[in-house]
Amino acid sequence: MAGRLADALLAGILLLCGIFGNVSDRDIERTVQAVPVLCHAGATVIWIRHRWPPDLTPQVRAWFAGSGFDEIAFDALQTRPPLLPALASTGSAAPPADALPDYRLFTFRAA
């Protein structure tokens, strides 16, 4: 995946759906840390994650904040069992790095 950003199309809207409930916590963190490199400044990121115990969504939100994102909304659906919350974040004003990550962001767990 390594390469120059000039060779990639940066996202204005990035959907991270169907990922965070199927990979390790470390893979979620690595993916969130790479998101600013994949997006235009001011991009919107939408992600979903179940809230079954242990509820990792507070930590995911903190990882996005630590990666320079400002939260627009967080909707934790009040269902039994807790289902899929959604978060939309705006990208930081900082310019993206000049190279894509040279590591795998995540690996899906076996079902």
CATH of the domain at 25: 3.40.50.150
Whether 3 shows a pLDDT value over 60: the answer reads no
Is the whole-model pTM more than 0.85?
no
- Is residue 90 scored above 80 in pLDDT? no
Q: Is residue 58 one of the residues assigned to a domain?
A: yes
- Contact assessment for residue 3 and residue 34, using Cβ atoms and an 8 Å cutoff: no
- The reply to whether 110 falls in a domain is no
Structure tokens at 57: 């969504």
Q: Tell me whether residue 61 is in a domain.
A: yes
The better pLDDT of the pair 83, 6 is held by 83
Confirm whether 104 is domain-assigned.
no
- Residue 88: half-sphere exposure toward Cβ, Cα within 13 Å: 8
18 occurs within a structural domain = yes
Range(s) of the domain holding residue 25: 5-90
Mean pLDDT, rounded, of the chain: 79
pLDDT of the residue at 68 = 86
Does position 20 have pLDDT exceeding 70, yes or no? yes
Confidence of residue 63 (pLDDT cuts 50, 70, 90): very high
Residue pointed to by tokens 């909707």: 75
Q: Is residue 77 part of a domain?
A: yes
Among 71, 46, 45, smallest CA distance to 58 is for 71
Does residue 95 sit within a domain? no
Residue 99 included in any domain: no
Domains of the chain: total: 1
SS3 31: helix
Tokens of 11: 């996202």
Residues 6+ away with beta carbon under 8 Å from 7: none
Q: What mean pLDDT do residues 90-106 have? A: 68
